[in-house]
Structure 1
Amino acid sequence: MKADLKEKKASLKAIDKEIVKLEVRKEKADAKAAEEAKKTEAESVLKKLLAEGMSADEILAKLK
Structure 2
Amino acid sequence: MPRTKGSKNRPKSDIVSQIAEKQTLVTTLTTEIETIQKEINDLKANLKTKKSELKSAEKEVGKLEAKKAKADQKAAEEAKKSEAEAVVKKLLAGGMSADEILEKLK
TM-score category (smaller protein): over 0.9
TM-score, normalised on structure 2?
0.59
| Partner residue of 1:14 out of 43, 53, 56 | 56
CA RMSD of the aligned region, Å? 0.6
- Higher-helix-fraction structure: 1
Q: Which has the higher contact order (CA 8 A, sep 6+)?
A: 1
Q: Aligned to 2:96, what secondary structure does the other structure show?
A: coil
TM-score, normalised on structure 1?
0.97
Partner of 1:33: 75
% identical aligned pairs: 70
How many residue pairs end up in the alignment?
64
**Contiguous gaps of at least 5 residues in structure 2:** 1-42
TM superposition shift of 1:59: 0.7
**Bigger Rg, structure 1 or 2:** 2
**Paired letter, 1:62:** K
d(CA) in 1 for partners of 2:103, 2:53 = 59
d(CA) in 2 for partners of 1:63, 1:18 = 42
TM superposition shift of 1:60: 1.1
Off by >2 Å, runs of 4+ in structure 1: none
